[in-house]
Amino acid sequence: MIDPLHVDQAIGNFLAEDIGFVDLTSTLLIDADRQGTFDINAREEIVVSGIDIAARVFELYMDEVEIDLRVKDGERVGKGAILARVTGQARKILTAERLALNLVQHMSGIATQTAVYVDRIAGTKAQLVDTRKTTPGLRMFEKYAVTCGGGRNHRLGLDNGVMIKDNHIVVCGGLANAIARAKATVPILTKVEVECDRLDQVEEALAAGADILLLDNMAPDMLSEAVRIVDGRIPLEASGGVNLDTIRPIAETGVNFISVGRITQSSPAVDVGLDEAA
């Protein structure tokens, strides 16, 4: 879940960006005392994410508003489903409409695409996880959306764990040296993950005390061999070039996690609209 303080701060910045000095259109066309009731509708089948955050947009922008949430984040709904009903000052509802819809469209898009990936690996031991390939300023929203779609979060930020990648290894003068340096001073509850793209690195990292291995761009046969070498002693994450065509064969190798950057980086927004209630 996202801390409410973070949500409110972000929404305040987003509203300021969108409105500027004043919403000229709504202010000029709609009387201040005009009331209205509007529905947020799904215009295609989606996995919902961000409906509470969309509701919070209206709550923060308006003095008095009544919001009737019809669904919860994580629910799969069909085309035409009413996600929420918003009642209040029509001028302000229409001013805040675009931001509320942008957030729920983007987040539900990520949740919907995540669910497709999760469904592809059903019945295997592998779990889908996200990456740090997120939109600056929207990371917490996007990673929350992944969980709504049934995925799990990897690192939320660089301070969440140690991940030793190829460039770190080069600068440290070798894989074993990098692991030893990290393990000597890492906080005691923090895991050290090491990226490997060859099987000899898998053996070296395992011997040096890595807590998790990231198997980068390995073909399924090589992944299977890495799983055999590690033999369940530490978790294994597969990453690199994962898509809907390749994820099932990767999952069937026996890895524990599969990280997919494209679920946060390039999931299409879903079609959600706001219409006057019938």
Considering the candidates 70, 98, 152, 155, report the single residue annotated as catalytic. 98
Q: Which of 160, 185, 184, 148 is nearest to 74 (CA)?
A: 148
From the candidates 70, 85, 133, 152, give the one annotated as an active-site residue.
133
Q: Which of 39, 73, 216, 237 is catalytic?
A: 216
The length of the chain in residues reads 278
- Taking Cα atoms as reference points, which of 34, 43, 141, 9 lies closest to residue 95? 34
Cβ partners under 8 Å of residue 191, min gap 6: 161, 162, 211, 212
Active site residue 92: no
- 72 carries an active-site annotation: no
**Catalytic-residue membership of 165:** yes
Within 10 A of 142 (CB to CB), how many other CB atoms are there? 25
Question: CB count, 10 Å around CB of 185?
Answer: 7
Given 23, 195, 211, 237, the catalytic residue: 195
- Strand spans (E) along 189-254: 192-196, 212-216, 236-239
Active site residues: 98, 133, 165, 195, 216
